Amino acid sequence: MTSPAEQTILLTGASGFVAAHILDKFLSKGYNVRGTVRSESSIPAIRKATNPQYHDKLSFAIVPDMQDPHAFDEAVQGVNGILHSASPFVLQSKDNAREILDPAINGTLNVLKAAAASKNPQLKRVIITSSFAAIVDLDQGYRPGYKYSEKDWNPATYETAAKNPSAFAYCASKGLAERAAWDFVEKEKPQFSLTTICPPWIIGPNINTITSLNKLNESTQIIYNLINGSLTAPPPTDFAGYADVRDVAEAHLLAYETPAAAGERFLVAAGNWSYQTACDIIRAEFPELKDKVPVGTPGAGEKEDVYRLDNSKIQSVLGLRFRSTKETLTDTVKTLLRLEKELN
């Protein structure tokens, strides 16, 4: 069997919050990683955030526009696996089709088309970072008593998403892009297998280079808002599930290395959560923040009557074990407090 040191993995969107953890996970396991970035200006920050001992295993490919039909033609050459984590995260747009839907769908298909066209016999698996947004039916709301699993799909159509609010369109884009990927593999029968990873809210410590607290990723920004005194009450629950970013990265590694992951879809969720629960934990673990963290109604978050998430498949097939909510939030807040000191 080929050792990690003899394999090269293509990671799209290498500058992202989740991608930074995926990059670290694969490099520390001994793989060579080729990361895609939109421009060379992104490379120094990624190298800075990467352990220097892995720099000789890290290379880059410039992909200015994922929607270019030939965007990934060169990047896929000679790789053993592809991790497609690049996708637009846009919650405010003027044109949902142009800014959200088309980039997500076309970017995914362009990766797969380039991979298939390469005729590379070494390429065995493509893993797509999808989302719980591709699973959840937003029209059902909190859906008390229901348990979502990999069998569920967001039913939103392209036409519906194009004319709805941008947040709805983003969720739809994840489902539409993932469906397009599975349809492509079923029709074209390429030399590689496909696996998709579907996490809900992804929270956890940032390890990518942050130059300003105004440039945090969306989920980390929400946690920061809970501790910076900007809120008087915990926000209402939106997505009622979460995953630690480190567990999501581990899921990608396990999905790549486990033969049984071929052709499978995995819901990667540690469990349910709410902003009230987050505030309760943060206030208990960081008493120095008690005047900044909203009180709300302590304990009420644990009693919310909302849907549940079935994570049994990834635990049984890949053996993934999830961090606790307390560990995830504690490590996230510690990182944010450190960044506050460094950047302010």
Domain boundaries, the chain: 4-204+242-269+307-320
Residues, the chain, total? 344
Cα–Cα distance measured from residue 296 to residue 233, given in angstroms and rounded to the nearest whole number: 5
- Pairing mode, strands 8-12 and 32-37: parallel
In the residue annotation, 334 being an active-site residue is answered as no
CATH of domain 4-204+242-269+307-320: 3.40.50.720
Output the pLDDT for position 181.
99
How confident is the model over 32-36, as a mean pLDDT? 99
**Residue 41's CB: how many other CB atoms inside 10 A?**
8
CA pair distance 217, 213, nearest whole angstrom:
9
Mean pLDDT, the chain, rounded, equals 96
Residue 9 burial (CB count, 10 A): 26
Active-site residue, selected from the candidate residues 29, 48, 174, 290: 174
Share of the chain above pLDDT 90, in %: 93
Q: Which residues contact 222 (CB under 8 A, 6 or more apart)?
A: 235, 275
**How confident is the model over 277-328, as pLDDT tens digits?**
999 999 999 999 999 999 999 999 888 899 999 999 999 999 999 999 999 9
Average pLDDT over residues 250-254: 99
pLDDT at position 13 over 80: yes
Q: Mean pLDDT lowest for which of 44-48, 213-217, 227-231, 278-282?
A: 213-217
